[in-house]
Every structure is written in C-alpha cells, then in structure tokens.
C-alpha cells in the first residue's frame, strides 16, 4: 500500500470515467447508455474514497459522499428505467436514434 | 414699422380667406363662401389701390427717383452672419403695379365665378383655391429676397395645379395639371441652380443687396462673377440664364410652353386669372425684378429677346389654326408674353434707352385687362352655348349682347387699334424694338398682324358667321355677377391706355416722358387693320374660302394645327431616350445589382443557417459529444493558453 | 513489490477490462454481465482500500439492486439474445479521439500536480463512526443530507410509479 500513490488510483478512476463516456457517446441502446452512466458514477466514487484516504485520513467526508452518491445513483437508475419503459411504449424501440423529436 | 406696414395685410387677407374657406367652407358656410371670398378680396383690392395711390402720388419719390421701400423684414433663417433668408416685403414701382393687377383681376374673377360656378358641388373649395392662389401670387410679387420669391413661386405652382385639376374626375384634367406642374417644376430646377449661383457669387440673397453688388463695376463680387467661367461661359451668364429658364417655364416660352394649351382643362375663370394676368407673367416679372443685373450681360439679353420673339411668332401661327376657343386664347397669351419678354430683352438700363422695360411693364398692365376679359367672355360663351369649338358656334351677337360688346372691345385692344389700351402698350414695344434691332421689329409687326387676324377670326366665328340653333333648355346670357365683371373689365380695357405708366415705372426709377409718334404707329395699325379685314373676308359670313385656304396650305396647315408636333417631340425624348436609355438601365441596375446584392446576402445567410441547422439533429449523443468537445476545448484554452 | 501492489494492479486491470467490454460488446446481456463484473471489481478495490462498509454497500445496492433492475428491463423491452445494431462509424471514431485526447490531457494535469503528503493519522473507518456522524447534528454531522436523501428517494419512487404507470402494474422500486 505504500507504493501505490494517489495518482495510480486516480489513473484508474479517470480511465474508468472516460470509458464510461465512450459508452455514453457510442451506444445506441438506451439501457446500455444507462450502464455507461453507472460506470461513470462508479469512477467518481473511487475518486472520492481515494482522496479521503490519501489526503484527509482523519475525516470521513469522502465516505459520506460516496454513500450518498450510491443512494442517489440507485434512485436515478430506477427513474431512468421508468422513462425508458415509457419511451418504449410510444416508439416501440429503445434505439436512441429513433427518439429524435428535438430535430429541427 | 414704416408707414407701409399695412401692406402685410395684402397677402395675408387672402391667406386667411383660404384657411376659413378651406376648413369650414364645405360643411358650414357653403352658400356664403363665394360672397366671403369676394368680400375679402375687395378689401385686399382697396388696400392695394390705396398703396398704389400712396406710393405713386405721395411719398414714393425721393429726389425724383422711385425708391425701393422695405415695408417689413423678418430674419427667418440665418445661415451665417452674412447670409440669411429674410422674409420681407419690397415695394417698388413694379411690385406696386403688380399687387394692383393681381388683386383687381382676382376680384373680377371672384365676382364672375359667383355666377359661372353656381351649382358646383365644390363651390367653397373653388373659392378657397382661388384665395390660395391670390395669396401666393401677392407674396411672389412682394418678395424682397430671392429665396422667398422661390418659395412663393412654388406655392403658385401648387395653387395652379389645384385649380387646373379642379375637375379631377376628368382624366384629361388630371393629366393637364400634372403636365403643368411637372414642366414648371422642371424649369424651377434651373431656377434654383441660378439662385444658388447668384447667391454664391454675390454673398447675399436679398434683392437690393444682390443687385447692388453684382452691378457696381468695381465690387469684388462683380469681378468674381465675371471672371469665373464654366464651359467657356461666365458664371453671370449661367446664373442669369438658369434664372431665365425658370421664368420661361412659368411664362410658357418656347420650348417649355407645352403645358399652357392643356391647362385650359380648368374652369374658365381660373384661366382668366392664372393664364392671362398673373401666373404666366411671373417669369416676366422675375426678369424685370433682376433687370439691372440682366442688363449688364448681353448674352443673356440676346437669349431673352430671341426666345420671346420666337415664342410670339410661333404661338401666333399656331393660334391661326386652332378650333377650341380657349386654346386660341392660350396661344394668344403665349404670344403676348413673348412680346413682353423680347421687349425686356431689347431694353437697356437707364433713361430713354430703358424704353423696352417700361413698354414691357405697360403691356403687362394692359394685357392683364384685355386677356382676362377675353377669357371671361369665352367663359360666358361656353356657359351659354355648352361648346368650346368655334365650328359649333356663330351668330351669338344677338343672344348675348353684353358679352359681345365686351369681347369686341377686348379684341380691338389686343389687335392694337387706337384708342384702346393695347394700342399704346404695343406701340411702345414696337418703338423699343425698332430702336434696337430691326429684325425683331419686323417679327413683332408680323406677329401683331397675325394677332389681329386670329383674334378676329375667333370673334367673327363666334358672333357672326351663321345663325345659332337654340336648343331646348338653354341658359340665358348669364347672371348679373358675370355681366358686371365683364363690364368693369371692358371699361378698364378701353381706358387703361391713358394711365401714365411711363412716369411711374422705368428701369432706373426716374420718370420718363412718353409720346405717341403718329408716323411710326401708322404702319403697325395698318397691318392690324389688314389682318382684321382678311379675317372678316374669310369668316364674317359662312363660306368655303377658309377650307380652300387650308387645303392649299396642306401640310403646313396640318403642322400648325398640331402645334408643330412639339408635344410629340417631348414624348419621343421622354419615352425613347429617358425611359429606355436612362430609366430602364437604372431600373435594371436597381433590381439586379442592388436588390440582387441584398437578396444574395439573405440567401447566403439562409444557406449558412441551413447548413448549421443540421447540428440540431435531435440525437442526444451528438449533443453530448459537442458538449464534451467544448469543455475540453475551453479547458485547454484556459489552462494552457491563458496562464 | 508486495502483495497489495500486485493485487491492486490485477484489480485495476479487471475493472477497466470489464468496463471496456461492457461498453463495446454487441450483445446486451453480456454487456450487463460485464457491468456486473466491473462493479464487483470496484467493490474489491474498496475492500483493498480499507473501506469495507462502502464495499458492502456497493455490492448490496449496485450489484444486487441496480444491475438486477437493468436485467429486468432488458427482459421487458427486447429479446436479449439478438445482436444490437452497430454504432455509427464516424461518431465512435470522433468520440474515441476526443476522449483519448481528454484523458491524456487530464492525466497529464494529475501527474504534474504535487499532492500534499498525508497527515500522521491512520486511515481507519469504523462503522460506528459512520453511523454517529451520519446522525449527528453538530458541525460535521450529515443528518440534514440524510433526511433530504430519504425524501428524494420517496419522490423518485412516486415519480417512477407515475411515469411508468399504465395498464400493467408499475415496476416495483425499492430503496
């Protein structure tokens, strides 16, 4: 544990973040986009815990943030599923390319 | 605030009449609008006569010279400490004479119209317009400032436009009023440039100062305006020439005369006022007003002379062939004004050699009376017989005796038969012409003979020749107001020749002796009598001789009847050259290049926006990508490039 | 090079590899499973970092709740055996390039930054401490966010029911 500095962990979290973004930009299925969002949120959690552990070991604030983020991520995932189901009912497809009502 | 301050009422009273009649006439005071107009104009005439009496007899003369009195002055626009437009009233011999003429003839026309225009729907409007015209003309002759005269010049143009186009339901009347306005406006363009040139070189707009600076041989302005040239002609000639063009437009000189015959579409009393006595002499008045400056430039005087002489002869020839009463009288006006113009042109400044000036003003004075009487008489004839064409008329001398006698007096006056007024004024003109240029004298005598001929052709055709068929519902001769005005004017025509104009109106202000040279006058009078004789031979009784004469003259007759095709020439120039050559390319340029440029800008903008529109694809991931790209870009920018 | 370092590297490779496969695979069910592995890897990472409580919460909520929910919705909306359509070629190219550039940029910043050394405290997370601080009303207490989050959960539950409500009974949401 001594040789792993914070930058290593930040490398992991940054890479995870960008992988999640790639999934967000590229995937055509709405549910897979949701999965990519979960990956992003995950990376943020790792970030918080890493900062808490390496820079502020006496406090617990990062832990609390992580707890709350997990909670809210759950709620948000549920909401997203509900919206996807609703959209599926009207478009009969969950391809995000089909939901282009905002087009000019 | 001198003793002449009341003169400001003279133009103001008709203006007030215009306002009252214009605003309230139609609804409230329709029946008395005519009488109101007559009343106000009567007061104006009395004031003018009083002014004349005061000026000519009492205190106009100082040291034997008639003064230029500024009765009123008000600084209106100050351009610089030295140049300003002052509104003022200038009283000098010609302006006093003109206010008498204008107000008196206007009063006669107002009285005549009480009977002539009775039953007209827009009676009050008619009187309002007449008052407006009278105001404009009075303002014009009383102007002390060359810009003020331009303002009133344009006002006169507008009033005449309103009056000529009075019967605006008739398309021919509308066209005629447009034509009059446009032709005179076109001439006024030259007038304005002339004003600007003269004002620039003399440094002032006031008449007195302008004349003084440009005529005193040593002054800097004089030298400057003579030395500056443009295209080889001195600026003085340009300025005066352009001012003369403005005057020629209003006075219907060749080639700007085309509006005058068509202006007969207006009511006949209007023609009596405008096209006999007042508006058409505005050009002559302008030249007379600036005469001291004109007299030092021989080139312009030659121009004035030849334009006047040619117009006189041209109009006389055309008048011999016309069939409409009012057209004959219109061309007669053009001819007589030509007389006045060339009389000014042959005149010099000062003393005996200034006879042309006096003669021209005298002729203006007498012409006002007999020409307006002729027009009013024509109005009475038309009112009685409902026709303008002389082939329809004839034998009216028994049916409308008052008109007959006054018309005869006016014809004798215009032909120059003594002792009527026209003889005296024409004789002085001929004398002035004889002393300066024999060729002009010859043209003048020939024109006088022709004048006598065509006037008596008109007289015999209307009042003798054949018997008149009476239709069922004919008017009688006319109401008392019509007869009254004609009788008064006939009286003036007969005796106006004895007014000693030369002792009051001369080029330099000093009174002049005038005398009748019997030997000299005999020749023109004989020529006039010959003209009358020829006319009575051809037209007194119904016969075939006129038709034989016209057949033998053939195409010459036809050309004269068609007014020498001048209107066609104008049409050709405007259509082929101006419209096709200048108008169409300009329109093409405007539509394709100017509009095209604007449309091009618009279409480029819309094409750009079409292409940008594709960015809003409705695809959320594209938006997210743009968003992310923007953030990275801004981050790079702020972190690396803007430390 | 002791064991924890090796474990860390193995764990990171596992997490990143699973995530990468999750976002690139063509079959949706496999994508969900790869997500599951990535989340389990993250929990293991939390264990390695010494925050066992968070790791437990991660497994219970993320793995046991969210991934299950996702798999549910996959079953509800499509046939999970088929292949998904391919992504748009230009978009995947552009985003890959942009993201690589972004990653390089940010990691460069992180690498350059001198993080301050940690203090003398030992990093020890006791669950009782978490609980006490969560419910304390003093300066570092988190009772207010706690209550707000509970209300948020209530609202989201109601919202989900309302949005997804139709003839069928709505999806049951929990937590």
Does the CB of A40 have a partner CB in chain B at under 8 Å?
A: no
Model pLDDT, residue B36: 87
Q: Which one of C42, C72, C121 has the shortest CB-CB distance to A58?
A: C121
Q: How far is A103 from chain B (nearest CA, A)?
A: 4
Residues of A in contact with C92 (CB under 8 A): 25-26
> Which chains are within 8 Å of A by 3+ CB pairs?
B, C
Model pLDDT, residue B474: 63
Give yes or no: residues C77 and C5 share one domain: yes
Residues of A in contact with C122 (CB under 8 A): 57
% of chain B with per-residue pLDDT over 70: 97
Q: How far is B626 from chain A (nearest CA, A)?
A: 10
Between strands B65-66 and B61-62, the pairing is antiparallel
Residue B16 clears pLDDT 60, i.e. is over it: yes
Helix (H, G, I), strand (E, B) or coil at B230: strand
CA dihedral B30, B34, B36, B40 (to 10 degrees): 150
Please state the pTM of the whole predicted model: 0.70
Residue C22 clears pLDDT 80, i.e. is over it: yes
- 3-class DSSP string for B390-459: CCCCCCCCCCCHHHHHHHHHHHHHHHCCCCCHHHHHHHHHHHHHHHHCHHHHHHHHHHHHHHHHHHHHHH
Contact B625 A97 (CB under 8 A): no
Touching A: B residues 291-310, CB under 8 Å: none
Contact B620 A96 (CB under 8 A): yes
Contact at 8 Å (CB) between A43 and A6? no
B67-110 pLDDT, tens per residue?
777 777 778 888 777 777 788 888 888 888 999 999 999 999 99
Residue B9 clears pLDDT 90, i.e. is over it: no
pLDDT-based confidence at residue C175 (cuts at 50, 70, 90): very low
> What are B229's strand-pairing partners?
B234
Alpha-carbon distance of C70 to C77, in angstroms, equals 11
CA dihedral B285, B288, B289, B290 (to 10 degrees): 130
Model pLDDT, residue B565: 83
Tell which residue, B319, B273, B275, has the closest CA to residue B458: B319
Does the CB of C110 have a partner CB in chain B at under 8 Å?
A: no
Give the number of domains in chain C. 2
Residues of A in contact with C8 (CB under 8 A): 4, 8
Tokens in use for B89?
């009233």
Tokens in use for B290?
């600036």
Helix (H, G, I), strand (E, B) or coil at B589: helix
Residue C151: phi, psi to the nearest 5? Answer: -65, -40
Residues of C in contact with A94 (CB under 8 A): 77-78
Model pLDDT, residue C173: 54
Q: What is the average pLDDT across B253-257? A: 88
Give yes or no: residues C6 and C56 share one domain: yes
> Which chains are within 8 Å of C by 3+ CB pairs?
A, B
Alpha-carbon distance of A39 to C38, in angstroms, equals 8
> Rg for chain C (alpha carbons), in Å?
21
Alpha-carbon distance of C76 to B501, in angstroms, equals 120
Alpha-carbon distance of B147 to B140, in angstroms, equals 10
Beta carbons within 8 Å of C15's beta carbon, 6+ residues apart: A12, A16, C38, C41, C42, C45
pLDDT averaged over chain B? 86
Contact at 8 Å (CB) between B384 and B475? yes
The CATH class that applies to domain A6-98 reads mainly alpha
Q: Which one of C91, C94, C105 has the shortest CB-CB distance to B632?
A: C105
Q: Which one of B616, B617, B625 has the shortest CB-CB distance to A25?
A: B625
Residues of C in contact with A40 (CB under 8 A): none
Alpha-carbon distance of B569 to B572, in angstroms, equals 5
C117 lies in a domain?
no
For residue B32, CA distances in Å to B18, B24, B26, B29 come to 14, 11, 11, 6
Residue C168 clears pLDDT 60, i.e. is over it: no
C2 half-sphere exposure, CB direction, 13 A CA radius: 5
Residue of A nearest to C31 (CA): A32
- Which CATH number does the domain housing residue C50 bear? 1.20.120.1200
Longest dimension (CA), chain B: 116
pLDDT-based confidence at residue B476 (cuts at 50, 70, 90): low
Alpha-carbon distance of B275 to B268, in angstroms, equals 10
Alpha-carbon distance of B332 to B319, in angstroms, equals 7
Q: Which of B200-204, B229-233, B371-375, B460-464 has the lowest mean pLDDT?
A: B229-233
Alpha-carbon distance of B464 to B536, in angstroms, equals 10
Residue of A nearest to B611 (CA): A104
Q: Which one of B625, B635, B636 has the shortest CB-CB distance to C94?
A: B625
Beta carbons within 8 Å of C13's beta carbon, 6+ residues apart: none
Residues of B in contact with A96 (CB under 8 A): 619-621
Burial of B37-46, coded b for 16+ CB within 10 Å and e otherwise, reads bbebbebbbe
Pick out chain A residues at pLDDT < 70. 1-2
Q: How far is B610 from chain A (nearest CA, A)?
A: 10
Q: What is the average pLDDT across B217-239? A: 79
**Angle at which helices B282-289 and B146-164 cross, to 10°:** 170
Touching A: C residues 41-80, CB under 8 Å: 42, 45-46, 49-51, 53-54, 57-58, 61-62, 65-66, 69-70, 72-74, 76-78
B158-186 pLDDT, tens per residue?
999 999 999 989 899 999 999 999 999 98
Alpha-carbon distance of B621 to A28, in angstroms, equals 9
Q: Which one of A23, A59, A77 has the shortest CB-CB distance to C69?
A: A77
Alpha-carbon distance of B112 to B44, in angstroms, equals 17
Tokens in use for C92?
């995947």
C100 lies in a domain?
no
Give yes or no: residues C3 and C60 share one domain: yes
C78: left (phi over 0), alpha (psi -120 to 50) or beta: beta
Residues of A in contact with C53 (CB under 8 A): 63
Q: Which one of C22, C118, C133 has the shortest CB-CB distance to A39?
A: C22
Residues of B in contact with C93 (CB under 8 A): none
C113 lies in a domain?
no
Tokens in use for B217?
């041989």
B124-157 pLDDT, tens per residue?
889 999 999 999 999 999 988 888 899 999 999 9
C47-74 pLDDT, tens per residue?
999 899 999 999 999 999 999 999 988 8
Residue B381 clears pLDDT 70, i.e. is over it: yes
Tell which residue, B90, B103, B106, has the closest CA to residue B50: B103
Residues of A in contact with C173 (CB under 8 A): 78, 82
Alpha-carbon distance of B637 to B635, in angstroms, equals 5
Contact B621 A21 (CB under 8 A): no
> Rg for chain B (alpha carbons), in Å?
30
Residue B473 clears pLDDT 80, i.e. is over it: no
C56 lies in a domain?
yes
Residue B472 clears pLDDT 60, i.e. is over it: no
Alpha-carbon distance of B385 to B394, in angstroms, equals 10
- 3-class DSSP string for B478-522: CCHHHHHHHHHHHHHHHHHHHCCHHHCCCCCCCCCCCCCCHHHHH
Contact at 8 Å (CB) between B574 and B178? no
Residue B511: phi, psi to the nearest 5? Answer: -65, 150
Give yes or no: residues C2 and C72 share one domain: yes
Model pLDDT, residue B470: 66
Residue B623 clears pLDDT 80, i.e. is over it: yes
Q: How far is B607 from chain C (nearest CA, A)?
A: 24
B290-349 pLDDT, tens per residue?
998 888 888 899 999 999 999 999 999 999 888 899 999 999 999 999 999 999 998 887
Tokens in use for B1?
């605030």
Q: Which one of B628, B635, B639 has the shortest CB-CB distance to C98?
A: B628
C125-164 pLDDT, tens per residue?
888 888 888 888 888 888 999 999 999 999 999 999 998 8
Q: Which one of B618, B621, B625 has the shortest CB-CB distance to A102?
A: B618
Q: How far is A13 from chain B (nearest CA, A)?
A: 18
B482 half-sphere exposure, CB direction, 13 A CA radius: 28
Which of C56, C84, C112 finishes a domain?
A: C84
Residue of C nearest to B622 (CA): C91
Q: Which structural domain range is residue C160 located in?
A: 126-175
Q: How far is C94 from chain B (nearest CA, A)?
A: 9
Contact C98 B625 (CB under 8 A): yes
pLDDT-based confidence at residue C37 (cuts at 50, 70, 90): very high
Residue B586 clears pLDDT 50, i.e. is over it: yes
Residues of A in contact with B618 (CB under 8 A): 99-104
Q: How far is B627 from chain A (nearest CA, A)?
A: 11
Q: Could you tell me how far CA B145 lies from the centroid of its own chain?
A: 19
Tokens in use for B97?
């004479």
C95 lies in a domain?
no
Residue C11 clears pLDDT 90, i.e. is over it: yes
CA dihedral B177, B182, B185, B186 (to 10 degrees): -150
- 3-class DSSP string for chain C: CCHHHHHHHHHHHHHHHHHHHHHHCCEHHHHHHHHHHHHHHHHHHHHHHCCHHHHHHHHHHHHHHHHHHHHHHHHHHCCCCCECCCCCHHHHHHHHHHHHHHHHHHHHHHHHCCCCCCCCCCCCCCHHHHHHHHHCCCCCCCHHHHHHHHHHHHHHHHHHHHHHCCCCCCCCCCC
Tokens in use for B159?
């009033």
Tell which residue, B143, B100, B127, B110, has the closest CA to residue B19: B127
Between strands B229-230 and B233-234, the pairing is antiparallel
Q: Which one of C23, C39, C76 has the shortest CB-CB distance to A23?
A: C23
Tell which residue, B102, B482, B124, has the closest CA to residue B269: B482
**Angle at which helices A61-91 and C68-77 cross, to 10°:** 10
Alpha-carbon distance of B325 to B455, in angstroms, equals 10
Does the CB of A100 have a partner CB in chain B at under 8 Å?
A: yes
Provide the residue ranges of all domains of chain A, joining segments of one domain with +: 6-98
Does the CB of B643 have a partner CB in chain C at under 8 Å?
A: no
Greater confidence (B100 vs C166) lies with: B100
Q: Which one of B621, B628, B636 has the shortest CB-CB distance to C105?
A: B636
Model pLDDT, residue C167: 62
Residues of C in contact with A76 (CB under 8 A): 156
First CA to last CA across chain B, in angstroms? 83
Q: What is the ipTM of this complex?
A: 0.91
pLDDT averaged over chain C? 87
B156 half-sphere exposure, CB direction, 13 A CA radius: 30
Contact A20 C23 (CB under 8 A): yes
Model pLDDT, residue B1: 47
pLDDT-based confidence at residue C120 (cuts at 50, 70, 90): low
Contact at 8 Å (CB) between A4 and C5? yes
Contact B619 A21 (CB under 8 A): no
Tokens in use for A81?
């599923």
> Rg for chain A (alpha carbons), in Å?
17
Q: What is the average pLDDT across B249-276? A: 89
Q: How far is B624 from chain A (nearest CA, A)?
A: 7
Does the CB of C152 have a partner CB in chain A at under 8 Å?
A: yes
Tokens in use for B289?
């007003």
């Amino acid at each position: 544990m001594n040789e792993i500095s914070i930058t290593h962990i930040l490398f992991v979290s940054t890479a995870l973040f960008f992988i999640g973004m790639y999934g967000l930009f590229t995937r055509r299925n709405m549910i897979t986009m949701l999965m990519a969002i979960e990956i992003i949120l995950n990376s943020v959690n790792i970030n918080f815990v890493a900062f808490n552990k390496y820079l502020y070991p006496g406090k617990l604030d990062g832990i609390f943030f992580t707890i709350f983020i997990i909670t809210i991520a759950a709620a948000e995932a549920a909401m997203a599923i509900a919206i996807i189901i609703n959209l599926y009912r009207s478009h009969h497809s969950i391809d995000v390319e089909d939901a282009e009502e905002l087009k000019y | 605030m001198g003793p002449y301050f009341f003169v400001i009422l003279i133009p103001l009273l008709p203006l007030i009449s215009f306002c009252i009649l214009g605003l309230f006439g139609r609804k409230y005071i329709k029946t008395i609008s005519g009488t109101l107009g007559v009343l106000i104009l009567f007061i104006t005439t009395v004031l003018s006569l009083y002014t004349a009496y005061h000026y000519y007899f009492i205190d106009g003369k100082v040291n034997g010279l008639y003064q230029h009195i500024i009765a009123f002055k008000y600084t209106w626009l100050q351009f610089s400490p030295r140049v300003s437009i002052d509104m003022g009233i200038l009283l000098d011999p010609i302006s006093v004479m003109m206010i008498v003429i204008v107000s008196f003839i206007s009063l006669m026309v107002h009285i005549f119209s009480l009977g002539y225009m009775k039953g007209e729907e827009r009676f009050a409007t008619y009187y309002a317009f007449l008052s407006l015209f009278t105001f404009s003309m009075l303002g014009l002759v009383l102007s002390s400032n060359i810009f003020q005269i331009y303002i009133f010049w344009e006002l006169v143009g507008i009033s005449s436009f309103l009056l000529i186009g009075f019967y605006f339901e008739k398309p021919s009347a509308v066209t005629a009023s447009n034509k009059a306005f446009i032709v005179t406006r076109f001439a006024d363009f030259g007038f304005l440039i002339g004003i600007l040139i003269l004002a620039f070189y003399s440094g002032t707009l006031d008449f007195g100062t302008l004349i003084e600076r440009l005529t005193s041989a040593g002054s800097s302005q004089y030298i400057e305006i003579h030395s500056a040239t443009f295209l080889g002609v001195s600026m003085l000639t340009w300025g005066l020439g352009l001012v003369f063009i403005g005057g020629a437009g209003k006075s219907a000189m060749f080639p700007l005369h085309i509006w005058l015959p068509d202006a007969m579409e207006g009511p006949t009393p209007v023609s009596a006022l405008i096209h006999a006595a007042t508006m058409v002499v505005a050009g002559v008045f302008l030249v007379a007003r600036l005469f001291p400056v004109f007299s030092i430039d021989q080139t312009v005087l030659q121009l004035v002379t030849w334009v006047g002489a040619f117009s006189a002869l041209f109009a006389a020839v055309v008048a011999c062939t016309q069939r409409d009463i009012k057209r004959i009288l219109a061309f007669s006006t053009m001819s007589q004004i030509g007389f006045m113009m060339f009389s000014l042109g042959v005149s010099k400044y000062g003393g005996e050699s200034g006879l042309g000036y006096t003669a021209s003003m005298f002729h203006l004075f007498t012409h006002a009376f007999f020409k307006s009487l002729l027009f009013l008489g024509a109005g009475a004839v038309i009112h009685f017989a409902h026709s303008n064409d002389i082939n329809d008329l004839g034998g009216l001398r028994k049916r409308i005796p008052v008109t007959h006698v006054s018309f005869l007096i006016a014809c004798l006056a215009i032909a120059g038969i003594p002792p009527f007024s026209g003889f005296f004024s024409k004789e002085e003109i001929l004398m002035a012409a004889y002393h300066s240029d024999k060729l002009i004298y010859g043209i003048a005598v020939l024109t006088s003979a022709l004048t006598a001929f065509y006037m008596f052709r008109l007289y015999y055709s209307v009042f003798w020749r054949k018997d008149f068929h009476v239709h069922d519902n004919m008017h009688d001769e006319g109401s008392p107001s019509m007869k009254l005005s004609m009788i008064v004017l006939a009286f003036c025509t007969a005796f106006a020749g004895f007014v000693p104009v030369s002792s009051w109106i001369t080029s330099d202000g000093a009174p002049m002796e005038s005398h009748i040279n019997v030997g000299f006058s005999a020749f023109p009078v004989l020529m006039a009598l010959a003209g009358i004789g020829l006319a009575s031979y051809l037209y007194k009784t119904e016969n075939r001789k006129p038709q034989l004469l016209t057949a033998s003259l053939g195409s010459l007759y036809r050309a004269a009847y068609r007014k020498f095709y001048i209107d066609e020439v104008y049409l050709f120039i405007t259509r082929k050259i101006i419209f096709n050559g200048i108008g169409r390319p300009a329109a093409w340029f405007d539509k394709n290049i100017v509009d095209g440029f604007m449309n091009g800008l618009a279409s480029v903008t819309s094409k750009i926006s079409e292409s940008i529109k594709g960015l809003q694809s409705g695809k959320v991931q594209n938006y997210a990508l743009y968003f992310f790209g923007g953030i990275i870009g801004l981050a790079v920018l702020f972190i690396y490039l803007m430390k | 090079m002791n064991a924890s370092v090796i474990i860390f590297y193995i764990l990171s490779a596992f997490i990143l590899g699973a995530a990468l496969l999750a976002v690139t695979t063509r079959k949706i069910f496999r994508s969900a499973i790869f997500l599951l592995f990535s989340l389990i890897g993250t929990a293991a990472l939390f264990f390695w970092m010494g925050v066992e409580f968070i790791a437990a919460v991660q497994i219970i909520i993320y793995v046991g709740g969210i991934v299950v929910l996702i798999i549910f919705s996959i079953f509800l909306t499509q046939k999970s055996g088929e292949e998904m359509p391919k992504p748009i070629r230009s978009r995947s190219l552009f985003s890959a390039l942009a993201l690589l550039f972004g990653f390089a940029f940010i990691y460069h910043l992180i690498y350059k930054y001198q993080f301050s050394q940690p203090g003398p405290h030992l990093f020890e997370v006791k669950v009782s401490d978490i609980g006490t601080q969560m419910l304390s009303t003093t300066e570092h207490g988190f009772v207010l966010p706690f209550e707000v989050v509970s209300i948020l959960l209530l609202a989201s539950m109601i919202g989900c029911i309302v949005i997804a409500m139709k003839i069928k009974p709505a999806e049951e949401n929990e937590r």
